Structure 1
Amino acid sequence: MGIGKRLWDVTRANVSDFASAFSTDTDTRERRRLDNEVEREVAQEVADTIGAKAGRRARRAATKAEDAWERAFEEARARGPGANASQREIDGWYRTLEVPVGADFATVRKSYRRLIAQYHPDKFASDPDKYAAATEVARKITHAYDGLRPMLEQ
């Protein structure tokens, strides 16, 4: 069936429904009332099935899980990457970035940029082994910088 034929059928059905809504014929109105009543009964029967009830329970559980995850995510985001870090881990981040412990943000940022430029994986794209190693080193450098940045930017 072509799109034109389908649009014509939908239009004709809508016009017929519209015309019957204003009909003064009692048989038409009674038929419409009975059709609506049957539709409501069928909808109620479908809503009361075990599958529908299980689906509603599953949606409620999924919604609660999503809400809990979003709250946890927002709380973790508010704390920042280095909020739960131990002093040992923070010291490790400074060592990774090759700066003294307690260095200011400008020094950390300068070292981060220097190290990323030195170990960026794109520089080693021709050798798969070096590329993998550079990817891991760059990941560790970025992790260290992301951990220190929120603490030092303030």
Structure 2
Amino acid sequence: MKYDAMKHQGSKGEKYTADMVGEAAGDSGRTVQRYIRLAALSDALLEYVDNNKIPMIVGEKLSYLKPEEQEWLLEVIANSSIFPTKQQAEQLKECSANGKLNQSYIYAVLLKKESSKINVTIPAKKIGNYFPETYSKEQIEEVIFMLLDKWKENKKGVADAEDTV
């Protein structure tokens, strides 16, 4: 409300209204604009934003979806317990703007598994105590992978034993 009142005063000040309101509240002008945009979200999606299950930036992107599309999204969330990421929300927003968003596309976007490669780096200081100083990087990696293979086999054996009990 304060934003609307200040916006309609008829004079151009030094700052944009959203920046002034944000500054008074300890936020940026862009954050104020996001809050205003969130008003276009359905109550259920807004509740997810309030409970931090959906980040505010994602909520802002989702606010551009039509009410029916937001209901479809809610159904997908309810059925899968998967919440959209910023990238997925941008995809949905773009598809909605083109008039091509449907329920099956929402399912496809949210349920699409990201091909995330795991890249682990272990500092030499942390593993230095476990290997002789004469071991090369390749030798250390070989030992680590051998131990991981044994661990994996052992874990599989434990899981198989639990299944038969």
TM-score, reference length from structure 2:
0.27
More helix by share: 1
Q: Which has the larger radius of gyration?
A: 1
Greater length-normalized contact order (CA 8 Å, ≥ 6 residues apart): 1
